[in-house]
């Protein structure tokens, strides 16, 4: 695949996962000639085009992978973006809750606490913060 193909695959994926506005802004930034704009180009071609657009795992599952990775890396800013993309890829509030809770035994409470703060913010932004009941409310605990 040429980098042109990677760019096209990455651009199409950005339109689908993040919306056309995001993709256009990214393109403008990549072509801006600004400091390190090539990092943006590499992200489109090498992350979105050559990795995210691969067959073999659906986008929603790829979001689960990336969100889990970013919780473990304690990268709150990138996590915020990828929670938004994950919702666009079909993740529900309950699934996001369970992903975060599933990381507790592996990354510890402090990393989870940072992740929760970001998740609540994104869910409110999307009007999705009312749709989740805790396990105790469902009579499970």
Contact between 127 and its own copies per CB under 8 A: no
First to last CA, the chain: 52
Distance CA 80, CA 75 (A): 9
Contact between 42 and its own copies per CB under 8 A: yes
Instruction: Kindly state the smallest distance separating residue 74's Cβ from its own copies, in Å.
Output: 8
Instruction: Give, as ranges, the residues between 94 and 123 that touch its own copies (CB under 8 A).
Output: 94-95, 97-114, 116, 119-120, 123
Cβ burial of 42 (10 Å; 0-12, 13-18, 19+) is middle
Six-digit token string for 96? 């996001």
Among 12, 22, 88, 132, binds its own copies (CB under 8 A): 132
CA distances, 106 to each of 71, 77, 96 (Å): 10, 21, 17
Distance CA 69, CA 127 (A): 25
Instruction: Give, as ranges, the residues between 49 and 78 that touch its own copies (CB under 8 A).
Output: 50-52, 54-57, 61-62, 64-66, 68-75, 77-78
Among 18, 27, 37, 88, binds its own copies (CB under 8 A): 37
Instruction: Give, as ranges, the residues between 7 and 26 that touch its own copies (CB under 8 A).
Output: none
């Amino acid at each position: 695949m040429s980098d042109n193909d990677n760019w096209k695959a990455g651009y199409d994926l950005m339109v689908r996962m993040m919306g056309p506005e995001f993709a256009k802004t990214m393109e403008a930034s990549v072509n801006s000639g600004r400091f390190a704009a090539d990092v943006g180009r590499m992200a489109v071609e090498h992350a979105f085009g050559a990795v995210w657009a691969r067959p073999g795992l659906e986008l929603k599952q790829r979001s689960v992978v990336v969100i889990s990775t970013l919780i473990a890396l304690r990268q709150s800013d990138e996590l915020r973006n990828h929670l938004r993309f994950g919702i666009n890829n079909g993740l529900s509030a309950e699934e996001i809750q369970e992903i975060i809770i599933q990381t507790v035994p592996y990354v510890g409470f402090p990393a989870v606490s940072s992740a929760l703060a970001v998740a609540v913010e994104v869910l409110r932004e999307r009007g999705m913060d009312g749709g989740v009941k805790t396990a105790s409310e469902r009579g499970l605990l």
